[in-house]
Amino acid sequence: MADDPSIPTQFGWDASDYDWSRGPMDLGAAARDGIVFFTHKATEGTGTKHQRYGEALRRARDAGIPVLGAYHVVRSSPSVSAQVDYFLSYLDGQTPWWRNWPDWFLQVDLEKWSYDKVPASAGEAFADLVEQRTGRKAVIYASRGQYGNELNGTSHLLWNANYGANIEDHYAAVYAARGGDSGAGWVTYSGRMPVFWQYGSRTRIGTQTICDANAFRGTLAQLRALISTSGDNDMADINQADWEALIWRQHTEIYDLPFVPGGPKKGERNEPHFARKAMDAKLDGLMAAIQAIGTSNPDVAAILAGVDERLAGLRTQIHADVDEELDEQSRGGADNDTPA
CATH number at residue 144: 3.20.20.80
As beta bridge partners, residue 106 has: 70, 138
Pick from 328, 32, 323: which is nearest to 162 by CA?
A: 328
Tell me the torsion sign for CA atoms 216, 219, 225, 227.
positive
Helices then strands, counting H and E runs in the chain, come out as 10, 11
Classify residue 323: in a domain, yes or no.
no
The pLDDT confidence band at residue 324, using thresholds 50, 70 and 90, is: low
Whether the per-residue pLDDT at 340 is higher than 90: the answer is no
Query: 132: left (phi > 0), else alpha (psi -120 to 50), else beta?
Result: alpha
- Given this model, what pLDDT does residue 127 score? 98
> Could you give the number of structural domains in the chain?
1
Structural domain contains residue 270: no
Whole-Å CA distances, 19 to 50, 65, 72: 11, 18, 16
Mean pLDDT of the chain: 81
Q: Mutual orientation of helices 80-94 and 120-134 as an angle, nearest 10°?
A: 50
Q: Can you tell me the distance from the alpha carbon of 165 to that of 160, in angstroms, rounded to the nearest whole number?
A: 16
340: in domain? no
* pLDDT attached to residue 8: 84
Q: By percentage, how much of the chain surpasses pLDDT 90?
A: 64
pLDDT at residue 86 tops 60: yes
Given a cut of 50, is residue 266 above it in pLDDT?
Answer: no
For the cut 90, the answer to whether the pLDDT of residue 292 exceeds it is no
Q: How does pLDDT run across 92-121, given as a tens digit for each residue?
A: 999 999 999 999 999 999 999 999 999 999
CA–CA distance, 83 with 75 (Å, rounded to integer) = 8
Q: Give domain status of residue 229, yes or no.
A: yes
Residue 265 lies in a domain: no
Let me know if residue 111 belongs to a domain. yes
Write down the pTM of the prediction: 0.72
Least Cα distance to 37 among 17, 63, 6 occurs for 63
| Pick from 66-80, 118-132, 293-307, 314-328: least confident | 314-328
Report how far residue 27's alpha carbon sits from residue 13's, in angstroms, rounded to the nearest whole number: 10
Q: Which residue has the higher pLDDT, 329 or 59?
A: 59
Identify which of 38, 330, 70 has the alpha carbon closest to the alpha carbon of residue 212: 38
Choice between 191 and 320, residue whose per-residue pLDDT is larger: 191
Please report whether residue 246 resides in a domain. Answer: yes
Residue 138 lies in a domain: yes
For 74, the domain range is 9-250
- Helix H or strand E segment including 295: helix 272-296
| CA 155 to mean position of chain CA atoms | 17
Instruction: Quote the pLDDT of residue 177.
Output: 96
pLDDT band, residue 228 (cuts 50/70/90) = confident
pLDDT in tens, 121-136: 999 999 999 999 999 9
